[in-house]
Amino acid sequence: MSYAIFRAAGQQYRAAKGKTVRVPKLDGEPGAKITFDEVLLSSDGKTVKAGQPTVQGAKVVGEIVRHGRGDKLFVFRFKRRKNYRRKTGHRQDFTEIKVTDLKLG
């Protein structure tokens, strides 16, 4: 099974053909094609190519499925014995991408 490790928005993701990946929010409408050129590692099932820092000629091609917001994360800060408590929430925006093609270079 072929796969690739690529970088998007400073984080690394594993992509395989037909799988969906959630990355931080990107520009584009659902149905639009998107290409990631920063492939750090690629494998065709037999051989593994590691980049220095990226694999030359390798690309991950996908299609934007949808945009959304993740589950709420609660952040609770306090200082003991000082009557200081703060509770805040955060929901991260994401873009869901379906990988359509891997060009392993």
pLDDT in tens, 35-63: 999 999 999 889 999 989 999 999 999 99
| Residue ranges making up the domain that contains 76 | 3-103
**Nearest-angstrom CA–CA distance, 73 and 20:** 23
Q: How many domains are contained in the chain?
A: 1
Tens digit of each residue's pLDDT (9 = 90 or more) over 12-37: 999 999 999 999 999 999 999 999 99
